[in-house]
A and B are shown apart, each in its own frame.
Chain A
């Protein structure tokens, strides 16, 4: 996978370079160097892999149509191996040696937080594909994200709990940036919805068995469990829960919005509730939904190209690249400050993750309407329609 991506990335970059020299594009045509850091291997590879695939597919298509506003894209795709330290050294290399115009990624919150300061100091646009609140709060002028924020997902979950009259819950989270950020939001917002967190446990991201943790949750006598992680632990937790006979509702984070996890949990995935962007239920959306056309198009293109289900995470990359492309087109010329300013003033962009309206104080641009509550039924994701 890694090697293949690398080869393809080099090939794409090579083609981009050649064509750039052959035919100086209409609008001046200086190529634009975009760095991409995704966790294509390691525990977060379920995020990074569709993200890298999407990036390769889009760059190829955009370059075939002449690039962004006449600027051919030179893509420098890197694998962070899900390691924040690795992400940092890759970002440093992309910025200092390759002098990239912008970076898209990384896949996870832990990695993004590690490079947020660097990108901001070096005045390089960073459009992250991770969801933690800290990425855009406080706002760093050069840092943006396209993933729906944790706080919005937490609100969707708590709203559902309120409608189901669940008030005493347990929280389980992994010891990753994503897990920590979600846990913080859950603790912060619970009182607002009259919910009490009676048990709060953190597990390692490599955890292979969580029955002990769930026994503790069982002992705490709660009405529901919320799990916040992006790793295979999501499936392990679901299985272990049923195995020890714990039958209360299980809520997962939006990190569960990848059908692979539901497949990994098999029968134990049935009935899991989770907030998610609308991509995974695109076909089931009403025809008047504004996102439907873009969702269907991306889904179709991705699925024909890679013969696997499109995932929300790839959608974050789609949005990141489209927002960047819109900003480059809107800016008078290919200047970092001007493109950054243009990015900040994008309004009403209809994307995969939701409808984005960015501003100098909001670098994420989504509200809780970006999330729909979904559940697993017969091994498939379907919209949740109450009890």
Chain B
């Protein structure tokens, strides 16, 4: 295989992988704070994209995206406040059912607020046909935006968790909820905050991938399935792991495609997922000890 072609497969893997990674990061925040998987994460991405698309009619793109993130974050907080905060000692199963319910609710609401049509944000740089040429292979500039967003989100999250009082409080709740409450941290507020941050990251992800994948009211679920897979492979709760696993999975998919029909791609992905779950359940980059601590 000539180098340029190999590189083209690699770029295509990075394109898909970047999308998976940026969605996967969102799963980790709520998981870290509460130990549950938020199955409505894909819908946050969809809402982010849809709201930004509506706002572009009134304001420039960066402002529209910023507003979309704020609105979605507020919505994430409200949803937590209304549906999750009131539950007394919820079990994991209850929480999963609530978040699945929320995902259906958001999807149907989006169908009525907007419509069933395909929308997308404009490309941040260039347009549909711009591409950057490197050693005979091409990649869309939007992919660089996706990767840049992944990097920026991972860095800001690690700074947030390491250096801000709110971030530290969230980590404390995650490590030992009762201990944190004894220290005067309002654990319930931390859960609300985690939903807001996670919705904001989801919305940002939905905006940066929108030019590539287009946004429809029902685009959340397919995005979430891949993002969730990546979050598990990378180790739940680990954002750097999610980015690495996302890119890895994207590249594996692209290389698989080089040697076998596309229909087998998901077989390979699921095989990897099963292998990870059997041999290293905490994920490729996860830490078994920290996983054990998660509880309500």
Residues of A within 8 A of B257 (CB): 212-213, 215-216
| Interface members, chain B 118-137 (any A CB < 8 Å) | 118, 120, 127-131, 133, 137
Are A49 and B129 closer than 8 Å at their CB atoms? no
A209 to B129, CA, bound (A): 14
Are B254 and A212 closer than 8 Å at their CB atoms? yes
Residues of B within 8 A of A243 (CB): 128-131, 138-140
Are B16 and A49 closer than 8 Å at their CB atoms? no
Residues of A within 8 A of B261 (CB): 201-202
CB distance from A163 to the nearest CB of B (A): 26
Say yes or no: is B176 at the interface (Cβ < 8 Å to chain A).
no
A244 to B257, CA, bound (A): 16
Are B131 and A242 closer than 8 Å at their CB atoms? yes
| Interface members, chain B 198-249 (any A CB < 8 Å) | 209, 212-214, 216-219, 222-223
Which one of B11, B116, B129, B266 contacts A41 once the chains associate, using CB atoms below 8 Å?
Answer: B116
Q: Type the 1/0 row for B257-275, where 1 means its CB is closer than 8 Å to any CB of A.
A: 1100111001000000000
| Interface members, chain A 171-215 (any B CB < 8 Å) | 175, 201-204, 206, 208-209, 211-215
Say yes or no: is A232 at the interface (Cβ < 8 Å to chain B).
yes
Are A213 and B216 closer than 8 Å at their CB atoms? no
Q: Type the 1/0 row for A214-233, where 1 means its CB is closer than 8 Å to any CB of B.
A: 11101100000000000010
Say yes or no: is A236 at the interface (Cβ < 8 Å to chain B).
yes
A8 to B284, CA, bound (A): 54
Residues of B within 8 A of A201 (CB): 261-262
Chain B residue at minimum C-beta to C-beta distance from A79? B116
Are B253 and A235 closer than 8 Å at their CB atoms? no
Q: Type the 1/0 row for B181-201, where 1 means its CB is closer than 8 Å to any CB of A.
A: 000000000000000000000
Say yes or no: is B5 at the interface (Cβ < 8 Å to chain A).
yes
* Of A14-22, A84-92, A262-270, A294-302, the one touching chain B: A262-270
CB distance from B225 to the nearest CB of A (A): 9
Are A244 and B12 closer than 8 Å at their CB atoms? yes
Say yes or no: is B9 at the interface (Cβ < 8 Å to chain A).
yes
Chain B residue at minimum C-beta to C-beta distance from A243? B140
Are A265 and B128 closer than 8 Å at their CB atoms? yes
Are A49 and B131 closer than 8 Å at their CB atoms? no
A203 to B5, CA, bound (A): 20
A243 to B179, CA, bound (A): 53
Known: A242-B131, A243-B131, A268-B129. A212 touches B118 (CB 8 A): no
Are B262 and A242 closer than 8 Å at their CB atoms? no
Chain A residue at minimum C-beta to C-beta distance from B130? A243
Say yes or no: is A1 at the interface (Cβ < 8 Å to chain B).
yes
Which one of B8, B128, B133, B140 contacts A267 once the chains associate, using CB atoms below 8 Å?
Answer: B128
Are B116 and A266 closer than 8 Å at their CB atoms? no
Are A208 and B120 closer than 8 Å at their CB atoms? no
Say yes or no: is A26 at the interface (Cβ < 8 Å to chain B).
no
Which one of B8, B9, B112, B128 contacts A239 once the chains associate, using CB atoms below 8 Å?
Answer: B128
CB distance from A127 to the nearest CB of B (A): 23
A1 to B108, CA, bound (A): 11
Interface of A is mostly: helix
CB distance from A202 to the nearest CB of B (A): 6
Are A1 and B214 closer than 8 Å at their CB atoms? no
Say yes or no: is A2 at the interface (Cβ < 8 Å to chain B).
yes
Say yes or no: is A42 at the interface (Cβ < 8 Å to chain B).
yes
Are A236 and B138 closer than 8 Å at their CB atoms? no
| Interface members, chain A 238-270 (any B CB < 8 Å) | 238-239, 242-245, 260-261, 264-269
Say yes or no: is A45 at the interface (Cβ < 8 Å to chain B).
yes
Residues of B within 8 A of A108 (CB): none
Residues of B within 8 A of A219 (CB): 1, 5, 258
A3 to B139, CA, bound (A): 42
Say yes or no: is A63 at the interface (Cβ < 8 Å to chain B).
no
Are A212 and B12 closer than 8 Å at their CB atoms? yes
Are B262 and A213 closer than 8 Å at their CB atoms? yes
Residues of B within 8 A of A80 (CB): none
Are A211 and B11 closer than 8 Å at their CB atoms? yes
Say yes or no: is A375 at the interface (Cβ < 8 Å to chain B).
no
A41 to B116, CA, bound (A): 6
Say yes or no: is A40 at the interface (Cβ < 8 Å to chain B).
yes
Are A211 and B128 closer than 8 Å at their CB atoms? no
Residues of A within 8 A of B140 (CB): 239, 243
Say yes or no: is B15 at the interface (Cβ < 8 Å to chain A).
yes
Are A212 and B16 closer than 8 Å at their CB atoms? yes
Say yes or no: is A148 at the interface (Cβ < 8 Å to chain B).
no
Say yes or no: is A46 at the interface (Cβ < 8 Å to chain B).
yes
Known: A175-B263, A209-B19, A239-B128. A45 touches B116 (CB 8 A): yes
Are B128 and A242 closer than 8 Å at their CB atoms? yes
Residues of A within 8 A of B133 (CB): 245
Are B223 and A208 closer than 8 Å at their CB atoms? yes
Say yes or no: is B88 at the interface (Cβ < 8 Å to chain A).
no
A269 to B128, CA, bound (A): 9
Residues of B within 8 A of A242 (CB): 128-129, 131
A243 to B133, CA, bound (A): 9
Chain A residue at minimum C-beta to C-beta distance from B13? A212
11 A–B contacts from the bound complex (CB under 8 Å): A1-B111, A1-B115, A45-B117, A201-B262, A215-B257, A235-B118, A239-B128, A239-B129, A242-B128, A243-B130, A245-B133
**B residues lining the A interface (CB < 8 Å):** 1, 5, 8-9, 11-13, 15-16, 19, 111-112, 115-118, 120, 127-131, 133, 137-140, 209, 212-214, 216-219, 222-223, 253-254, 257-258, 261-263, 266
**A residues lining the B interface (CB < 8 Å):** 1-3, 40-43, 45-46, 49, 175, 201-204, 206, 208-209, 211-216, 218-219, 232, 235-236, 238-239, 242-245, 260-261, 264-269
